[in-house]
Each structure stands twice: as C-alpha cells, then as structure tokens.
Amino acid sequence: MPRAGLSEDRVVEEATHLADEGGAVTLVEVARRLGVQVPSLYKHVDGADALQALVAARAKRELADTLARATVGKSGPSAVDALARAYRTWADEHPGSYASTLRAPSVDNAAEIAASDKAVGVLFDALAGFGLHGDDAIDATRYCRAVLHGFVALEAANGFGLPGVDRTFEKLITALQLTLTHWPSLTI
C-alpha cells in the first residue's frame, strides 16, 4: 500500500472543494475523494468538527485576501463599491466556504479568530476614507458587515423570490455609500 501523501492542508483543501460543490462534508466523502480509508484522516485532522473549523479558518483567510486585493489603492465610496462586489462574488463562487464562516469560532481556535480579525480589519481599513473614528468606525463597520452578509445569506438561501436581484444589489451599494458618507450625522 503506497502512501497517499496527505497532509492537513491537503485534507482541508479537498473538504473545501467538496463543500463548494454543494456536497455534504462528511469524512466518508472526503476520504473517498482522497483515495483513503476514513480512519486515515485522523492522522491529519482531529475529527469532523475540527475539519469544519479548519475549513472555516481557511475560508476566512481567503475572503480576507480577496477583499484586500479588491480594495487596494481605493478609499471611501469607491472602496465600498469594490469591497461589496468582491464580497458578493466570492460568496457566490464559494458557497460552502462562505457558509462555514458563519459558525461562531470556537474559543480555542486561534487560527480561526485571527482569520476573522483579518477580514474585519480589511473592512475597517476600507472605511477609513470616510473619516470615521472611535465608536462611529466600529458601528459603521458592523453595519457594512450586516448589510453585506444579510444580502449574501438571503441570496444563497434563495430568499429573494423574484428576479431583479442584481438591480437590488446595485441599489444596496449606493445606499451603503450614502449611509457611510453621512454616518457621523446619524446621532440626530
């Protein structure tokens, strides 16, 4: 029996592909794809839950990188536009990865938390061009995340029954830009 040459990374990669193709991420299926028996996976990964967490951490890193690349050299409304489109596109193209990022990260998983922080950091930086500080910056960042995540999640769950979703997304970007521009005056 020649070795399959696996590694934690290889296993996580295959699980990610499986998830993004819409399959259920089971150890049975991952093992089958890797040409290996199920218990062999335990040499690289600490069970099904741990594999899920690794997939999530990988997904968050990739999302953060994608957002960072999309917004490089941009700021203010133009950064928001680029970021929103990159976010939606990535989520659409990696539905399994995106879904994996929604689980609350386990407290003991430093890698996943770091990846989370990185993604939020990119968003936070992109909003710097609006001149927000302190609580305003935090609140605006959270608002952005909520809008983008909410839209993408509803789209993924087929929550928008009718056509015209692209049109709605264009409006969403404009609304978001406007909201951020006027954020400080929201204190009424």
Partner DNA sequence: GCCTTAAAGCTAATGGGGTTAGCCAAACTT
Partner DNA sequence: AAGTTTGGCTAACCCCATTAGCTTTAAGGC
- Sign of the C-alpha dihedral computed for residues 125, 79, 148 and 90 taken in this order: negative
What distance in Å separates the CA atoms of residue 103 and residue 113, rounded to the nearest whole number? 12
46 makes contact with its own copies (CB under 8 A): no
Q: What angle do CA 49, 50, 54 make, to 5 degrees?
A: 120
Which of 30, 140, 142 minimizes the C-alpha distance to 38?
A: 30
Which of these ranges, 30-38, 144-152, 164-172, 174-182, lies near DNA under the rule CB under 7 A?
30-38
Residue nearer to DNA on the CB measure, 18 or 140: 18
153 makes contact with its own copies (CB under 8 A): yes
Which of these ranges, 39-47, 86-94, 124-132, 165-173, lies near its own copies under the rule CB under 8 A?
165-173
109 makes contact with DNA (CB under 7 A): no
151 makes contact with its own copies (CB under 8 A): yes
Which of these ranges, 35-43, 99-107, 149-157, 165-173, lies near DNA under the rule CB under 7 A?
35-43
Quickly list DSSP for 45-77.
Answer: SSSHHHHHHHHHHHHHHHHHHHHHHHHTT--TH
174 makes contact with its own copies (CB under 8 A): yes
72 makes contact with its own copies (CB under 8 A): no
